[in-house]
Each structure stands twice: as structure tokens, then as C-alpha cells.
Structure 1
Amino acid sequence: MSPAAAAATSRRIRGVDAARGIALLGMMSTHIFPLFDKGLDGGAAEPSFVGLVFSGRSSALFAVVAGVGLALLTGGSRPHFGRGLMADRAGIAVRAVLIGAIGLLLGGLDVNIAIILVNYAVLFLCALPFLQLRLPTLAGLAAGWMLLSPALAFLLRPWALANVPPEGVLGHSPGTADLFQPWMLLSDIFLTGYYPVLQWFSYILVGLTIGRLDLLRTSHQLWLLACGAVAAVGAKALSWLTMDKLGGYAEVAATGPAQRADFDAIYVVNMSWVEQQDSWWWLGSASPHSGAGLDLLHTSGTAAVVLALCLLIGSRWPALLAPLSGPGAMTLSLYAAHVWIMAMVLEVGLPLTRGQLYWSQVVLVVVAGMLFQAAGWKGPLEAVTSTAARATRTLAGGRSRLPS
């Protein structure tokens, strides 16, 4: 590879890593700061800045960039096939199993965080049959999945809830103990949990589609920026038309699950706290974590905008991205460290404000990421997963290659 090509590849990866770093910092903010605050004199709850900006969007960005990473690992704009693709799939499957194991261990911590790693690992496994597809096919699949999966989830969730054993506990971060209740675990991962794979696979397909672009080309970066902005704004506009102008919000507000004092605020910041049933109008919402098609479209659009901006900056001024791309290159290690720190803070009861707790971790994350990047090191958990994936890929008959 020529020096120019190597530099271009580094800049492209730095842009992707920077987007992943933004997702990490955004998710950390939603774990620490409240998503809505009480109004003046104890009045109605009001959405907070973190709730309005980061809720739903940060985790969606994390998932979309995961899809981009899978595309880069399997050939980028020229997807692998044959024996090379078989080796890619084997390496990705091992990586997914290890990530899922880490997620199960973190799920055993006493911490009020919806840990994404088990769902993230299952999304990787679900992507394996789609890795050979090219951009037009992936784009069509992403659009169809985004349209149909929310309706399918709406039909299946009541059935899943009715068939979960009475002792089952839904809506929590999966832990090792859940392996002994496989039906509950599968229900939580695919339908009833915080990151339902049935709908969230849309983000992986969107990421795979983006990753099949030539991300080094400025024209493709600008195209991605424009399409993302149109999707994000258009989804919110359609939701406003459906829910506000056509009466959808009044219909869902009259259902049983919406009969709670803080529903108006929850509708704006996090719909995972409400069981969406009794009305098809729920599918017209673009609210964060609603899992509706317009929510998936809006958050995919915002993810595309963030990624496009990072790629554009990384192609011209890569040094500017170092505080983000460093952490973004080792998010698995830093995410696990963040969850562990939050569990320890909860157990010890450190007298820190939310702001102090967040910004101290931001400094830790950025400094660690930049130091590891400058030294050319992988994060500890990244080293384990990439080494195992590379060894598996070699055993499966493919060329050993560095992960993107």
C-alpha cells in the first residue's frame, strides 16, 4: 500500500472511530444525567438537555457504526465472497460470542444502566447471512426492515409477554443467570428489552449499506450527509403530521399504558418505559426508543449525519478528531470500564455531583484513548476479541488481516 493510500485509509478509519467515540460519550451522558427534570415548584416533568439531544440517538449511532465496521471488515465497497467471506463470518462470530460474554458479566453488576453488549453481539450474529450483499440490495433490505419490523414487533410483543413464565423479569440487562431462563432471555433480546434486536437490526443494515460506499470519496461523504439530514428531518415531520395533526397522539394518550403523570415527558425522551399496545397509532411516533419506523429512520439519519461529518473532518484535519477517535478505537474496553465505575460509585456512594461524575469519566476516557492511539495499542478487551477473531479467521482459511 502506498503512503498516500495508507494515510487515506487511516483517515477514513479515524472518522469512523470518532463517530463511535461520540456515541460512547453520548451514551455515558444518558447513564449519568436525568433525561427529564421536575418543573418549577415541583410541577410537571420537563425533558432535560441530555434527554432531548442524546436519548435514543447515541445508542443508535453506536449500532449504525457497528454495521459500518462489519462492512469494512468484509471488504468495504468490494465485499468479500467465497472462502474469504466464510473466514470473515467465522471471525465475526467469535468476536460476537466474546462481546456477548462480556455483556453477560457486566449484566451481573448492580447498576442502573441498560447494557447494550449482549444485544450488540446478537446483532453481529444476525448480520452474518447478509455480509456478501452489495449496496443496492442492502439499501432495499434496510428500508423494508425499518418499515415492517415495528409492525411485526407490535403483533408479537403481547404474545411474548403472555408466554413469559410468571417469575420472569423483563426489561433488564441480561446477565449470566438469565442463561437458565432461555425463553425469557430470547424474549428480552429480540422483543421486550431495551434494545429489541427485531427492530434494531435495521441499524445494522443501514450501517452495512453505508459501509459499502467508498467512504474515502468526498462526494460519497457529502451524499451521506445530505441523505442523513433529509431522513432525520423528514421522519420528525412525518411523525408530527401523524401524531399531532392526524390525532395519533390523542389516541395513544388514551390507552392504558399512557395513564401516568409523566407520560408527556416520557413521550419526548424515552418510550421504552411505556408498553406500547392497544393502538396502532403507536407506530406513527418518532419518540426515542419507541422502536417505531419513524424513530428508526430519524435516528439512522442523525447517525449518518454524525458519521459523514466525522469522515469529512477526518479527511482534512484528522488531528482534530484525536480526542474522539482515540476512545472510539477502544469503546468495548472503555464502555465496560464506565459500567464498572458506575457500579462502584453506586456501591461506595461517592459524594460527587452528576456533572463531576460525568466529566471526570470523559477526561479519563479521552486521555486513555489518546494515549493508546499514540502508542499504537489496542484496548485490553479489543486485543482479546481481535486476536481470537484473527486466529479463527486464519483457521477458517482466510488471510489474517487487521480489524477495521
Structure 2
Amino acid sequence: MNTKPASARLTGIDAARGVALFGMMSTHVLPLYVPGTSEPTWTALLFSGRASALFAVVAGVGLALLTGGRAPHHSLLLSADRRGITVRALIIAGIGLVLGGLETNIAIILFHYGVLFLVALPFTGLRAGALGAWAAGWLLLSPVAAHLLLPVVSAAVDPPSLGSNPVFEHFLVPLTLVTDIFLTGYYPVLQWLGLVLVGMMIGRLDLGRLGVQAALLGGGALAAVGAKLVSAQLLGPAGGLAALLETSDGSRYPLEDMLDVGLTGVDQSDSWWWLAVSAPHSGTTPDLVHVAGSAAAVIAVCLLLTRTFRLALLPLSAPGAMTLTLYSLHVCVMSWADQLEPLPDPLLLLWLQILVAIVIGILFQRIHSRGPLELLTSGASGAAREGVLERHR
């Protein structure tokens, strides 16, 4: 048979989630620029933008699996699923707000993660084909919509961005909070919904089939490479980079090096050529297609490896099964480490956290338990889901 058991498929998804967790840890701990220069480090070149996008795409896969996998639920079951996902999203967002109160330089993704779950609810009843069409349209058009909306919103909302991680107090400035979460923040939901839709489409496929896994690998790699090539063509021979270097921020920053790391702090509203860049977290179509393709390829590799080397992926899949707990623990550790004098060696700090995450993940797997935050979210969402079903029995 070509189909592997569902447990092997889920192990591959957990392994991909583990890759995302460790990639995000790396970008949080290690420098993204070579000290004293504007040259990107290997950490930036490998993980910047890709790790967090993989986190979002795998979240979409999880949503698809929660709502029926290859055969999406409908009617009562779908209503129950949506109630459970809503509760799950609110808990995750609440954890993000609590972590946002810590002193840290990390752009915490959890509040945005919860909002993405809520925004994705209308799509949870769709099949793979429809989700693929929605995802393609969203990746293509949402950056254009963001480019058009940004100057309008910036003029109408004061301030247009939180300038920090969202916390409970930010609900007192709802317009700024909504603007930051959907448009001006580090993980703009307007564009990032496209990544979740890509993940939901992937989750609707028969992921246990070798042919599907191979096609996912080839298609993801083609999309990732193609997006970079299109961006390079637009910025080079088409003259995009020269035009951007003449903009106010393009002339002030080391733009060519930043294109490999991220454009945080750069005003991207004064030229349509900004939509041609593929820099991490730029939210453009080339960026979104590249990171979505990279995520699909990583998921495919993990699924392929679990066909034969399932135990070898345990250092990834075990912590990947409890990323909410381990990510939250990582944020707390980094908040504490940032207060130390002198600062710990970054490489040592990273590997210690990775080793601890692997040990914790394997220990919880051995006792057949989930992480405490996973138990909280799954228990509460499961109770909400069962409540809907019970009322209709």
C-alpha cells in the first residue's frame, strides 16, 4: 500500500512543527547580522521569515486535520469543530497577551496565531481545490490591498502601530490594536491568512501517500525558488532595486543586505516597487509564495522521512507535539536571559534550550502525555465541541 498510518503522518507534521520551533528559537537567540557589519548571518539566511511562516502553515494543516482532514466535516460536526477552534484560539491569544507583558525583544506570534485561527473559521468547510484557489488569490492580492490600505490607515489611526507586543492594556486603544494586528504589525493577519490557507489546503490532501508527499516537495521547492527568481528579475533587470534605492528609506538603509534579513523599520509605502521584494516579513507576494513553498517542502521532507526513519525524527517530532508549551517557556527564558550581566553566550544559550526542549518533549511522549498548555487548549476546545454535539443529541 502507498498509504502510511495516520500516526506516521502526524509524526511528520509534528517534526515540521519542531523545525519551526527551533528555527524561531535560532532567530531569537543568535544575531541576524555579522557583528559590526550589515552582512547577514547564516541564521538569518536559513531561518529569518521562513521559521515563523512554517509555524503558520503547519497551523493551517492542523486546522484541516481538526475539521476532517481529506473529507471536511459539515453541518453539525463542522459547527462543533468551529466552536472548539474558537475556544482554542481565544486561549492561545490569551497566552500571547500574558507573554507580551514580559520584557523581551521577541516579536511574540501567539496573539496573531489565535486571531488567524478565528479569521480562518469560514474556510474550514472547504475542500482542497477550493482552499488552493483561495490561497493563491490571497497570496497574490492581499499584499496589494495592504499597500493601498497602509497610507490610508496610517493617516486615520494615531498611532498606527503598537510598537510592542500586544498586551491586555492595548484593548483600551482598539483601533491601534486592530490596525497593528491586521496590517502594520510584525505578523500582519491580512497577508498571513494566505499562509494558513496554504496549510489548510495541504491538510486536505492524502498526506500518507508517497506520490502526494513527492508532489508537495517538488511543488513547494518550485514555488520557493520561482518566487526568488521572479523577485530578482524585477529588482535587477526590470530596475526595481534602483528605484527603491532612490526612495527616502531606501537611500538611508543598507537595503541590499536587509533584503536577506528583513525590512523592519523601513517605510514600504512610497513606491509600488516594494511589492517586488522577497525580503523576510515584507508581506509581499514573492515573500509569501517563497515562505509558503519552503514550508510545504519542509513538511514534505518530514513526511517522507517518517516513512522509514520515524525514530530518527524524534528530536523534532517530540518537542513539535508540544510547541505551545515550549515556545512559551522559551519566551520566558529569553526574557530572563536578557536581564543578565554579562549576557550569556548566544550559541550556548540556544543549544541548551534546544536540548532541554528535546528532553522535555521525549519525556512527555514517554509518559503518554501532552504539554500543560496543550492539555489546557485541547481540553477546553474538546469540551466546547462536545457541548455543541450534546445539545443536538
Deviation at 1:266, TM superposition (A): 1.6
CA drift at 1:257: 2.1
RMSD over aligned Cα atoms: 1.7
Q: CA deviation at 1:148?
A: 0.3
Aligned equivalent of 1:120: 113
Aligned residues between the structures: 391
Shift, 1:260, TM fit: 2.3
- 8 Å CA contact retained: 1:171, 1:192: no
Per-residue displacement from partner, 1:249-287 (whole Å, max 9, x unpaired)? 111121112232433322221123312111101111111
State how far apart, in whole Å, the 1-side matches of 2:174 and 2:368 are: 40
Give the Cα–Cα distance (whole angstroms) in 2 for the partners of residues 328 and 131 of structure 1. Answer: 23
Q: Which runs of 5+ in 2 are unaligned?
A: none
TM-score, normalised on structure 2? Answer: 0.96
Match of 2:9 in 1: 12
- Maintained 8 Å contact 2:3/2:210: no
Equivalent in 60, 66, 69 of residue 62 of structure 2? 69
Q: Which position in structure 2 is the counterpart of 1:391?
A: 383
**Partner of residue 402, structure 1:** none
What are the Cα deviations for residues 340-381 of structure 1, in whole angstroms up to 9, with x where unaligned? 001111224364211111111011111111111121111000
Work out the CA distance in 2 between the residues paired with 1:171 and 1:217.
45
Q: Equivalent residues in 2 for 1:118-267 (5 A)?
A: 118-166=111-159, 169-267=161-259
Residue of structure 2 in register with 1:35 after alignment: 32
Counterparts of 1:292 and 1:328, CA distance in 2:
28
1:159-188 Cα distance to aligned partner (Å, 9 max, x none) = 22222225x653421111111111111011
Q: Give CA deviations for 1:209-247 in whole Å, capped at 9, x if unaligned.
A: 101100011110001001001101110110111111101
Which of 251, 267, 270 aligns to 1:278? It is 270
C-alpha distance in structure 1 between counterparts of 2:254 and 2:170, whole Å: 31
User: Contact 1:224–1:304 at 8 Å: present in 2 too?
Assistant: yes
Structure 1 residue runs of 5 or longer lacking an equivalent are 400-404
> Mean Cα displacement is larger for which, 7-16 or 195-204?
7-16
Distance 2:245 2:29 in 1: 29
Q: Which residue of 2 aligns with 1:96?
A: 89
Q: CA deviation at 1:5?
A: 12
Please show how residues 21-60 of structure 1 align to structure 2 within 5 Å.
21-38=18-35, 42=36, 44-60=37-53
Are the aligned partners of 1:83 and 1:398 in contact in 2 as well (CA < 8 Å)? no
Choose which of 323, 336, 340 in structure 2 pairs with 1:331: 323
TM-score (norm 1): 0.94
Can you list the C-alpha shifts for 1:140-167, whole angstroms capped at 9, x where unaligned? 110000000000000111122222225x
2:260 partner SS: helix
Mapped to 1, the partners of 2:52 and 2:224 lie a distance apart of 15
Amino acid at match of 2:178: L
In 2: Cα distance, 1:58 partner to 1:79 partner: 28
Conserved? CA contact 2:161–2:179, under 8 Å: no
Q: Measured at CA, do residues 192 and 169 of structure 1 come closer, stay the same or move farther in structure 2, by a change above 3 Å?
A: closer
Contact in 1 for aligned 2:3/2:209 (Cα 8 Å): no
User: In percent, how many aligned pairs have the same letter?
Assistant: 51
Give deviations 1:88-113, integer Å, cap 9, x for gaps: 00000000000000000100111000
- Residue 300 of structure 1: aligned partner: 292
Letter in 2 for 1:187: T
When residues 165 and 332 of structure 1 are mapped into structure 2, their CA distance, relative to the original with a 3 A threshold, is same
* Contact in 2 for aligned 1:92/1:389 (Cα 8 Å): yes
Distance 1:380 1:46 in 2: 40
SS in 1 for 2:295: helix
Please give the alpha-carbon distance, in whole angstroms, between the structure 2 residues aligned to 1:35 and 1:317.
32
In structure 2, the CA distance between the partners of 1:169 and 1:214, relative to structure 1 (3 Å rule), is closer
